[in-house]
A = this chain, B = another copy of it.
Amino acid sequence: MIPTLLTGVIPPVCTPLTPDREVDVPSLLRLVDHLMEAGVHGLFVLGSTSEAAYLTDAQRRVVVETVAGHVEGRLPVLAGVIDMTTPRVLDHVREVTRAGADAVVATAPFYARTHPAEIARHYRLIAAACPVPVVAYDLPAAVHVKLPGDVILDLAAEGALAGLKDSSGDLAAFREVVIGARTRSDITGFSVLTGSELIADAALAVGADGAVPGLANVDPRGYVRLFELCRGGDWELARAEQERLCGLFGMVTVGDPGRMGGSSSALGAFKAALHLRGVIECAATAEPQVALSPEEIERVGKFWAGAGLL
C-alpha cells in the first residue's frame, strides 16, 4: 500500500537488458534486492533512468509485474506512464495499475504542442481514470515545457495530484511548490520529490519530502545516508556526503560526445557500474543508444573507486 505521503529515497530503477535487448528479469530482481537492502524507501520503475522511452509496451509490462510481484507491498512501487498525450497515457495507466503499481508518474504532454490549460486538463483526466495516486513528473529536458508551479498547486488542491517529481534543475521553482504545498490550507498530503543527483541535500533543506536520483541505482546507501543526515539536520555531514556523490556522478560524462548523446553516456555509465558491481549481467542500453567503449567503461570504474565504493 502506498503511504499517505511519499518520502525518502525512491530510486528510478534501471532496466537491465540482455545482449539482445530483452528485459533481463533475474538481473532486475537482483537490482531491486540491491536497492531494498540499502534501505531505500520506495521504487520508481519506468522512469527516464529506466529507459521507459525505449521500452516496448510488452517490456514495460514485464518490468512492472516483475518488480511489483517481487516487492509485494514492502515498499511503494511507482510506475511511469510516459507517453505523448492523455489517451495514450491512460492505456499505460491501465497496464501498470493492473500489474501492481502503487502510484503512477506522468509528464506533461509532449511531441504535441501544448498549453497550461491543456496540461491541467491532462492531469485531471488521468486522475479521474486512475485508481492510484498520480504524481506529476517535471522534466523539461525531455518534454520541452516546464510545469507551472501554480498549475501544480491547484491540481494538488483539487486532489488530482498526490505529488511532484521535479527533474527540472530549477530549485527556485521547486521551492515555490514546496512552500505552496506547505502553506496553502487547501492542500494536504502532497509529496514534493527532487530528481536531482547533485543538489538533493539543498532540495531536502528547502523542504523536499524525498529524492529520486538515478545515481541511487549505483550507490543507494549513499543516498539513504544523505537523506537521514538531512532529516536529522546534520547539514555539514550531509554536504560532505552529497559532495562525494557529486564526484561519483561525474561518471555520466565518460561517453565521447562526438560519438554519442548524453543519454547513451549517462545510462551506459550507470549500467556499466552496476555490471562492475556484479548486480546486473549485461550493461547493454536500448536502441538506438550507442554503447560505451572498453576505455570509457574503465573510466566508470575509476569514478566508482574514487567515491570509495570498492
Contacts and interface: CB of A to CB of B under 8 A. Distances in A.
Interface of A: 21, 48, 53-57, 59, 82, 84-88, 90-91, 109-115, 117-119, 121-122, 125, 141-144, 169-172, 175-176, 179, 196, 198-199, 201-202, 205-207, 233, 235-236, 239, 243, 246, 257, 259-264, 286-290
B260 A115 contact: yes
Contacts of A87: 21, 54-56, 59, 286-287
Contact of A202 (B84, B85, B202, B263): B202
Contacts of A111: 53, 82, 110-111, 142-143
Contacts of A236: 233
Given A117-B260, A118-B260, A172-B198, 18 more contacts: A21-B87, A53-B109, A53-B111, A54-B87, A57-B57, A82-B84, A82-B111, A87-B286, A110-B110, A112-B261, A115-B264, A118-B261, A169-B171, A170-B170, A171-B171, A175-B199, A176-B198, A179-B246
Contacts of A57: 57, 88, 91
Contacts of A112: 48, 53-54, 142, 261, 263
Number of copies: 4
Contact of A117 (B109, B110, B259): B259
Nearest to A174: B199
Nearest to A286: B87
Given A175-B246, A287-B87, A115 B261 contact: yes
Given A84-B53, A170-B169, A288 B202 contact: no
A239 B206 contact: yes
Contacts of A257: 115
Contact of A205 (B82, B85, B205): B205
Contact of A263 (B113, B260, B286): B113
Contact of A288 (B59, B86, B205): B86
Contacts of A114: 261, 263, 288
A139 B125 CA distance: 28
A115 B122 CA distance: 29
Contacts of A117: 259-261, 290
Nearest to A260: B115
Contacts of A202: 171, 199, 202, 205-206
A261 B88 contact: no
Contacts of A144: 144
A60 B169 CA distance: 35
Nearest to A197: B172
A260 B198 CA distance: 31
Contacts of A21: 87
A142 B111 CA distance: 4
B118 A264 contact: yes
14 contacts: A48-B112, A54-B87, A55-B87, A56-B87, A56-B91, A86-B287, A110-B110, A112-B261, A115-B257, A115-B262, A118-B264, A176-B198, A199-B202, A233-B235
